[in-house]
Amino acid sequence: MSSIPAPKLELADDEWRKRLNPAEYAVLRQAGTERPFTGEYTDTKTEGIYACRACGTELFRSTEKFESHCGWPSFFDPSHSEAVILRPDDSGGMHRVEVLCANCHSHLGHVFSGEGYPTPTDQRYCINSISLKLVPSQE
């Protein structure tokens, strides 16, 4: 298994706790998960950019968001290939692929392939709303 590059933004644990509220910290820094259908962006149709709530790095765009009806915001591709890091996650007795912010290594969610959604990539980046901050497009 290859190692992942070091984060560009590294903060001490107490600094993350000052920057994030307890719920954000639990998901972003401890790989927690928000309950399905409770997130701020699950059904959002606002056009814009979805940035990492921890560091502000652009991760996804509304043009790649789709309705999967899974309870979390779903995207078929990140905004650019270097935006996220994928790593194996065998926690919880199942094999999944974890999605991390490439800049600060915060936990975003998981990516699933081959589920049959009618998207160009046949992937579903299942991302916690609490891991994201929507920056609406300026028109």
Active-site residue flag, 126: yes
Tell me how many degrees the CA angle 55-39-28 measures, rounded to the nearest 5: 35
Torsion sign across C-alpha atoms 51, 57, 61, 66: negative
Alpha-carbon gap, residue 2 to 87, rounded angstroms: 9
Classify residue 34 by its DSSP letter: P
Question: Of 52, 55, 104, 126, which is the active-site residue?
Answer: 126
Sequence-distant (6+) residues with CB within 8 A of 23 are: 34, 130
Q: Which residues are catalytic?
A: 126
